[in-house]
Amino acid sequence: MDSIIVEGNGPLSGQIPISGAKNTCLKLMTAALLSEEPLTLTNVPRLSDIRTLSTLLESHGCEVALLQGGRVMVLSAREITNRRADYEIVRKLRASFNVLGPLLAREGEAIVSLPGGCAIGARKVDLHIMALEKLGATITLEEGYVHATAPDGLTGAVIEFPFVSVGATENALTAATLAKGTTVIRNAAREPDTVDLAKCLVEMGAKISGAGTSEITVEGVDRLHAATHQVIPDRIEMGTFMIAPAICGGEVELLGGRRDLLEAFCEKLEAAGIDITETEAGLKVARRNGAVRAVDVTTAPFPGFPTDLQAQFMALMCTAEGTSTLEETIFENRFMHAPELIRMGARIDVHGGTATVTGVKGLTGAPVMATDLRASVSLILAGLAAEGETTVARVYHLDRGYERIEEKLSAVGAKISRVKADG
């Protein structure tokens, strides 16, 4: 397996382009199954997760073509040739489970593998199933697969989630576009990913209102048509690269960055002593004179502080002045990066869903191991600020969500390189 070697090298300076949003793009890709006509996506990130989902869509009969070096994707599902999503693909990528709603809505049947657990917790699918049953589907679980049928089509209904679930909201949203009548989704996810999916569906001919609020209304239509849609910037990549000059010093401009996608995160960075300025090209981030201040964080669904930036913020807090408390409310087991940061000299105490971080004067490079996607990049960020060399092993996680990270960080002065598995 490849490794990343990072060496502390002082302040950063320059520009970093922000790629299209991975999580958004994955859900947009599943929407292509709803229509016989092609869906064209632009600003597509070139990541392994995108390739994995492309393979699954092709197994359903969807043709996937990449243009302009992979930045443009054309998906054409003129005919669904297979209604089964196999475990061998779904287990690699949880977002694969979101083919369930589109397949069921269009074909009246879908057989989709349960995605299983993952390194950051079980992440159940019971709300997905509840939502589709509200729309009239009959669902059974057999040998690890969800069997969903609606031979006469789906029917609009009121779906009220007991708590916010991004994936379940999006499965319900896509399914409801072709349902008969009106669907109301209450306690809906408000994430930018969900809003962008709704926008794309409207461009395809769906009738949706309320996206971005806690109540979404969908008026079912008979069919959807061709559309071209630009994927929004990746707010998690953006937040990650905002941490880089915060932890190392210096000033970096994030091309395509948008504050509205990360307002709660930006407020916490500013409270820690980081300057954030909107520019014509995006966002400029700079660390003020003096040490970073400790700031408490509690993760929450959008518009709150994103769970996918908790690990990166913890890396920043490791050398902040004072003691910070990070509370994780979204997923269990999401502090697995803490022991690796401790190997670098950090002072972190984890009790259940809360981590207490006492800032130290400096970190020291060490061999560390990535445990999941966001944990892997938190170790790279820590390595940028550490004295000496840090080797991050098992970085295949990294390639799922960060495009050309070594190139982007090297371009602003970081000392970072990849060592291939064969040496």
Q: Do 150 and 273 have their domain in common?
A: no
Q: Which of 102, 78, 167, 93 is nearest to 130 (CA)?
A: 167
3-state secondary structure of 340: helix
Q: Do 247 and 352 have their domain in common?
A: yes
CA distances for 298 relative to 16, 304, 329, 330, 353, angstroms: 28, 8, 7, 10, 10
94 is in an annotated binding site: yes
Q: Which of 362, 360, 358, 393 is nearest to 379 (CA)?
A: 393
Q: Do 46 and 148 have their domain in common?
A: yes
Confidence of residue 85 (pLDDT cuts 50, 70, 90): very high
Q: Do 31 and 12 have their domain in common?
A: no
Task: Compute φ and ψ for 10, nearest 5 degrees.
Answer: 85, -165
Confidence of residue 422 (pLDDT cuts 50, 70, 90): low
Active site residues: 118
Q: Do 248 and 139 have their domain in common?
A: no
Q: Do 47 and 58 have their domain in common?
A: yes
Number of domains in the chain: 2
* Cβ-count burial 56-78 (b if 16+ within 10 Å, e if not): bbebbebebeeeeeebbbbbbbe
What is the average pLDDT across 95-100? 96
301: domain CATH number?
A: 3.65.10.10
Out of 182, 198, 230, a domain closes at 230
Q: Where are the extended beta strands (E) located within 108-261?
A: 109-113, 138-142, 145-149, 158-160, 182-186, 207-209, 215-219, 227-230, 250-255
The type of residue at 237 is E
Per-residue tokens: 133: 């049953």
pLDDT at 117 over 70: no
- Which domain covers residue 265, as residue numbers? 3-19+233-419
Q: Do 138 and 266 have their domain in common?
A: no
Q: Do 274 and 414 have their domain in common?
A: yes
pTM: 0.92
Out of 230, 259, 276, a domain closes at 230
Cis peptide before 45 (omega within 30 of 0): no
Q: Which of 274, 249, 248 is nearest to 259 (CA)?
A: 274
Per-residue tokens: 237: 């990549």
* Least confident span in 99-113, 223-237, 301-315, 326-340: 326-340
Quick one: how many helices (H) and strands (E) in the chain? 13, 24
Per-residue tokens: 12: 């950063």
3-state secondary structure of 320: coil
Mean pLDDT of the chain: 94
Q: Do 179 and 249 have their domain in common?
A: no
123 is in an annotated binding site: no
Percent of the chain exceeding pLDDT 90 equals 88
89 is in an annotated binding site: no
